[in-house]
Amino acid sequence: MIEGIVPVLENAALSLIRQQELDEDIFPEIVDFLRVFADECHHGLEESHFFPAMGEAGIDTESGLVRDLKEEHKAMRRLVRKIAELWEDFSYACAARTAEDIHAAVQVFVRVLPAHIRKEDDTCFPMADEALSAEQQARLAAQYQEIQSRELCSGVIVHYGDVLTRLQARLRGGS
What does the binding site for Fe ion look like in residue numbers (CB under 5 A)?
43, 46, 120
Rounded least distance, CB 48 to Fe ion, Å: 12
* Residue 57 contacts residue 131 (beta carbons within 8 Å): yes
Other residues' Cβ atoms within 10 Å of the Cβ of residue 157: 14
Question: How far apart are the C-alpha atoms of 154 and 151, rounded to whole Å?
Answer: 8
- 29 versus 120: smaller Cβ distance to Fe ion: 120
Question: How far apart are the C-alpha atoms of 32 and 84, rounded to whole Å?
Answer: 9
* Residue 109 contacts residue 79 (beta carbons within 8 Å): yes
* Residue 5 contacts residue 167 (beta carbons within 8 Å): yes
Closest CA to 105 of 81, 89, 127, 137: 81
- 28 versus 114: smaller Cβ distance to Fe ion: 114
Rounded least distance, CB 62 to Fe ion, Å: 16
- 12 versus 41: smaller Cβ distance to Fe ion: 41
- 95 versus 157: smaller Cβ distance to Fe ion: 157
Rounded least distance, CB 21 to Fe ion, Å: 34
Rounded least distance, CB 22 to Fe ion, Å: 28
Rounded least distance, CB 16 to Fe ion, Å: 27
- 7 versus 44: smaller Cβ distance to Fe ion: 44
The angle subtended at Cα 157 by Cα 129 and Cα 36, nearest 5°, is: 90
